[in-house]
C-alpha cells in the first residue's frame, strides 16, 4: 500500500463511480499533456485548468483558436473549461468540432470519450453510451488498451447509475481484463463486486471485493484500502460470514484510528455493530453505533450520520 507521507484518510473519497470518473479525467489530462504538440496558448489553457482557473483557460483557448481555428488540442481544452463553468451544450460543440477535425484514432478516442461524458452530464444516456462505444472502437484502432478500459468503465458507469446492473457487469468485467497494474485491477474488481451486490449475487460480491482488497492492500491509496476493507466487511455481513467480517472490520477500525481516519472508523464501527447484533451481543452493538454517531457529530458530517441511521435502522 502506498503511504504518501502522513496522508490522512479523506472521508469524501468513497471510491465509487464518481471517483472513477475523476480518475479517468485525470488520466485523459495526463495523456493530452504528454502526447500533443500543442500551441503555447493551448498549453496555457491546460495549465490554467490544472490550477482550477477555468476563466483564464477559456481566454487562452480563444487566443489559440483565433490563431488556428482547427487546433484539436485547443478545442478540447476549451470544451473542458466550458464543462468546468457548466456550459455543457457549448462544451459539447467544442468536443464535436475536435472530433471532426481529429486526424488519428487516438485524437478521436479522446474527443468521443469527452463527448460521451458531456452527454452523460446532460442526462442523455443513450447518446452517451453511443459515444463511449465509438471511443472504444477508436481506442482499439489506436491500439490503446488503457483507453479501451476507460471506455468500458464509462459504459458500465452509465448503466450502473441507471440501475441497469446486468448491462453494466460485462462492461466492468471487460475492463478488468485490460487493467495494467494492481491499482487498476483493484478499482475494476470493486466495480464488479458492487454490481454483483446490486444483482443480489453476494457470494460473488465477496469474491471480487476480496480481490479488490488485496490489490488495494499492495498498491492502493490509504482511502482505497480503507474503503475496500469496509465494503468487504459489509459483504461478509450480508453472506453471514461473521467471523471474517469481525476480523476485517476490527482491523480497519484499528488502522483508521492510527491514521486519523475518523470517517472510516465510523463506517467500520456501524458495520461491526451489525455483526454484533446478529450474534446477539446487543450491548456491544449499541456501543459501536454510539461511537460512530459521535464521530459523525464531532466531524459535523450530516451525511455520515444519516448513513449510520439508515444502515442500523431496525437492528434491535
* Helices and strands (DSSP H and E) totals, the chain: 16, 0
- Domain count within the chain: 1
- The pLDDT score that the predictor gives to residue 22 is 42
Which residue is it, cell 481566454? 59
pLDDT(194) > 80: yes
pLDDT(15) > 80: no
Q: Which long-range contacts (CB under 8 A, 24 or more apart) does 189-192 make?
A: 189/215, 190/15, 190/228, 190/231, 191/17, 191/20, 191/153, 191/156, 191/160
Higher confidence at residue 4 or residue 80?
80
User: Per the domain annotation, does 176 fall within a domain?
Assistant: no
Who's near 305: CB < 8 A, 6+ residues apart?
293, 296, 297
Range of the domain at 316: 1-12+181-316
Q: How far is CA 133 from the centre of its chain?
A: 19
Window from 27-36, 62-71, 97-106, 109-118 with minimum mean pLDDT = 27-36
User: Per the domain annotation, does 297 fall within a domain?
Assistant: yes
User: Per the domain annotation, does 84 fall within a domain?
Assistant: no
User: Per the domain annotation, does 36 fall within a domain?
Assistant: no
Who's near 288: CB < 8 A, 6+ residues apart?
269, 270, 272, 273, 276
User: Per the domain annotation, does 123 fall within a domain?
Assistant: no
Q: How far is CA 14 from the centre of its chain?
A: 8
pLDDT(30) > 90: no
Which band of pLDDT confidence, cut at 50, 70 and 90, is reported for residue 32? low
- The pLDDT score that the predictor gives to residue 101 is 97
User: Per the domain annotation, does 33 fall within a domain?
Assistant: no
Q: Which of 144, 184, 133 is nearest to 23 (CA)?
A: 184
* Average predicted confidence (pLDDT) for the chain: 91
- The pLDDT score that the predictor gives to residue 12 is 38
The pTM of the full predicted model, rounded to 2 decimals, is 0.87
Q: Which of 275, 241, 224 is nearest to 10 (CA)?
A: 224
Which band of pLDDT confidence, cut at 50, 70 and 90, is reported for residue 38? confident
- The pLDDT score that the predictor gives to residue 17 is 37
CA pair distance 28, 137, nearest whole angstrom: 17
Helix pair 282-298, 262-278: axis angle to 10 deg:
160
- The pLDDT score that the predictor gives to residue 165 is 98
- The pLDDT score that the predictor gives to residue 29 is 53
Residue 227 maps to which CATH number? 1.25.40.10
Q: What is the pLDDT of residues 240-294, one digit of tens each?
A: 999 999 999 999 999 999 999 999 999 999 999 999 999 999 999 999 999 999 9
User: Per the domain annotation, does 39 fall within a domain?
Assistant: no
Contact indicator for 228, 186 with CB cutoff of 8 Å: yes
- The pLDDT score that the predictor gives to residue 28 is 55
User: Per the domain annotation, does 74 fall within a domain?
Assistant: no
Q: What is the pLDDT of residues 99-153, one digit of tens each?
A: 999 999 999 999 999 999 999 999 999 999 999 999 999 999 999 999 999 999 9
Amino acid at each position: 500500500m502506498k503511504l504518501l507521507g502522513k496522508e490522512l484518510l479523506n472521508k469524501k473519497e468513497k471510491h465509487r463511480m464518481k471517483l472513477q470518473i475523476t480518475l479517468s479525467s485525470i488520466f485523459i489530462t495526463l495523456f493530452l499533456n504528454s502526447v500533443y504538440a500543442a500551441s503555447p496558448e493551448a498549453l496555457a489553457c491546460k495549465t490554467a485548468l490544472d490550477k482550477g482557473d477555468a476563466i483564464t483557460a477559456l481566454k487562452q483557448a480563444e487566443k489559440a483558436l483565433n490563431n488556428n481555428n482547427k487546433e484539436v488540442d485547443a478545442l478540447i481544452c476549451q470544451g473542458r473549461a466550458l464543462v468546468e463553468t457548466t456550459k455543457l451544450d457549448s462544451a459539447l460543440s467544442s468536443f464535436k468540432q475536435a472530433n471532426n477535425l481529429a486526424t488519428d484514432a487516438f485524437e478521436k478516442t479522446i474527443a468521443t470519450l469527452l463527448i460521451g461524458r458531456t452527454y452523460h452530464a446532460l442526462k442523455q444516456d443513450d447518446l452517451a453510451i453511443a459515444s463511449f462505444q465509438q471511443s472504444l472502437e477508436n481506442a482499439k484502432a489506436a491500439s490503446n488498451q488503457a483507453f479501451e478500459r476507460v471506455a468500458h468503465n464509462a459504459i458500465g458507469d452509465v448503466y450502473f447509475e441507471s440501475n441497469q446492473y446486468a448491462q453494466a457487469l460485462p462492461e466492468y468485467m471487460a475492463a478488468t481484463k485490460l487493467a495494467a497494474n494492481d491499482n487498476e485491477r483493484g478499482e475494476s474488481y470493486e466495480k464488479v463486486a458492487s454490481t454483483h451486490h446490486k444483482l443480489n449475487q453476494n457470494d460473488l460480491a465477496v469474491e471480487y471485493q476480496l480481490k479488490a482488497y488485496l490489490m488495494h492492500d499492495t498498491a492502493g491509496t490509504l482511502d482505497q484500502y480503507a474503503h475496500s476493507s469496509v465494503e468487504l466487511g459489509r459483504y461478509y455481513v450480508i453472506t453471514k460470514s461473521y467471523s471474517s467480517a469481525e476480523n476485517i472490520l476490527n482491523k480497519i477500525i484499528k488502522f483508521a484510528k492510527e491514521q486519523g481516519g475518523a470517517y472510516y472508523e465510523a463506517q467500520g464501527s456501524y458495520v461491526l455493530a451489525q455483526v454484533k447484533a446478529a450474534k446477539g451481543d446487543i450491548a456491544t452493538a449499541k456501543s459501536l453505533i454510539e461511537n460512530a454517531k459521535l464521530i459523525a457529530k464531532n466531524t459535523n458530517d450530516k451525511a455520515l450520520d444519516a448513513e449510520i441511521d439508515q444502515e442500523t435502522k431496525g437492528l434491535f
